Amino acid sequence: MLNVLSVLSWLHPAGLGSYAAAKAAAWALTDAAREELAPRGIAVSALHVGYMDTDMAAAVPADQKADPADVAAQALRGIEKGLPEILADETTRYIRQGLAALPEAA
């Protein structure tokens, strides 16, 4: 199973709260489904994507958008490798690395 998510699974900017909340919930559901379905041999992956050519990203410069064909190829490679999370573009990888570098809350 592949759930298509967004970098907004992790970030919740003003003006996009509802969308980000939905993506965060989908990410949580993906993680839970992965654990629940693993004993049955069903793999569940999350595909995190930054900007792509959609109405929502119309104002984003073209050079900052991921190529849909490349995203699809990344998804297939991630599924073949059994990755639980697939980071489909440079924007997503950059944001994930930044979040991983944050110190843990006390």
68-98: pLDDT as tens digits: 899 999 999 999 999 999 999 888 899 898 8
Window from 2-6, 71-75, 98-102 with minimum mean pLDDT: 98-102
Rg of the chain over Cα atoms, rounded to whole angstroms, equals 14
Q: Where are the alpha helices (DSSP H) in the chain?
A: 17-37, 68-81, 90-101
Per-residue confidence (pLDDT) for residue 83, from 0 to 100: 96
Q: According to the model, what pLDDT value does residue 106 have?
A: 56
d(CA 80, CA 83): 8
Q: What is the pTM of this model?
A: 0.83
Q: Are 22 and 64 in contact (CB under 8 A)?
A: no
* SS3 state at 48: strand
* pLDDT class of 56 with cuts at 50, 70, 90: confident
Domain extents in the chain: 2-21+33-101
| Local structure of 102: helix, strand or coil | coil
Contact 19, 8 (CB under 8 A): yes
Helices (H) and strands (E) in the chain, counts: 3, 3
> What mean pLDDT, rounded, does the chain reach?
90
Tell me: pLDDT of 26 over 60. yes
